[in-house]
Structures are given as structure tokens and as C-alpha cells.
Amino acid sequence: MILAFATPLGEGTNNQVEVRPAVFGMTWLLQIGYRNVILEVDSQLLVDWIMQNATPPWSIHAQVQQLMELIRQANKFKCKHTYREANAVADLLSKESHKMTSPSIYNSSQQLPKEERAYYQLDIVEMASFLRRKTKRIKEPP
């Protein structure tokens, strides 16, 4: 793990929420000197925009162009689609960001919140994981 982060992005479309973290991550990687990058995202649409297989909507065209500028600064770049089910750590960090007022950056797996760290460890050993969610229980019949 090189970097994990959760940052409050405010309101926006699902497309904006896919592009902004990619821009943040690419900016950070380039600033610290990484030039060989594999970007894993859970949005096939974002992969298509990056690979220029589809045209982004005008509302986020500038953000996608900013991302493409950053990508051009890399020596080697590969973008991979990862299914959401196989991307539990990022999904949990995304949900965590809605509760935040400032960004959190994690430089090691030990810094991750407890649940995210557990899913990261499952990823390391390539074990399947299932996201859990609390269910509402009705204690008295209606």
C-alpha cells in the first residue's frame, strides 16, 4: 500500500465523485516522485474516459482533462477497472468521507480505521470479502 485517503468532496454527481479522487491521487503520486502508476478504479465509465473510449459529459470535461494532464506526466500508466465487490477498502473509505470535515491520509495499513484494515488484510491474502451492513430489526409487530 502506498496511499489511502478519504476526503470530503461535498455535493456532486457520481461522475464527479469518481474523477476527483483520481485527480487527488495522481497529483499526490506525481508530487512525491512516482512515475509508474497503476490506477485502479471501480468505475468502468472513468476507465473509458481515460482510455478515450467514451466522451465525458461537459459538466466534468475540465476535471477529466486535468486528470489526463496528470496522466501524461507519468512514464508508465495503466488504468484498471476493479469491481466494487473487490474494492471494499475504497468503498468503506468513501463512506467514511461523508462523516469528515477534513481529509485523512493513510500511509500504511496500520493507520487505516479498524474495519478498513480488516478488509485490506483480506485483500493481501486474496480472500473473498463481503461488505456487511446493519439491518433494521422490528421488535414489535405492526
Among candidates 69, 63, 64, which has minimal Cα distance to 49? 64
Least confident segment among 28-37, 92-101, 109-118, 125-134:
125-134
The three-class DSSP label of residue 38 is strand
What average pLDDT does this structure show over 7-36? 86
Rounded Cα–Cα distance for residues 12 and 96 (Å): 16
Residue 12: pLDDT band by 50, 70, 90 thresholds? confident
How is the chain split into domains, by residue range?
4-124
Res. 106 pLDDT band, cuts 50 70 90 = confident
- Encode pLDDT of 26-62 as tens digits: 999 999 999 999 998 889 999 999 999 999 999 999 9
Kindly state the percentage of the chain with pLDDT values over 70.
90
- Amino acid occupying residue 21: P
Mean pLDDT, residues 62-75 taken together = 97
- pTM for this entry: 0.76
Q: Supply 60's cell numbers.
A: 466534468
Superfamily of domain 4-124: Ribonuclease H-like superfamily/Ribonuclease H (3.30.420.10)
- Are the CB atoms for 79 and 41 separated by under 8 Å? yes
Contacts of 110 (CB under 8 A, 6+ apart): 117
Helix, strand, coil content of the chain in percent (nearest 5): 45, 15, 40
Q: What is residue 130's three-state secondary structure?
A: coil
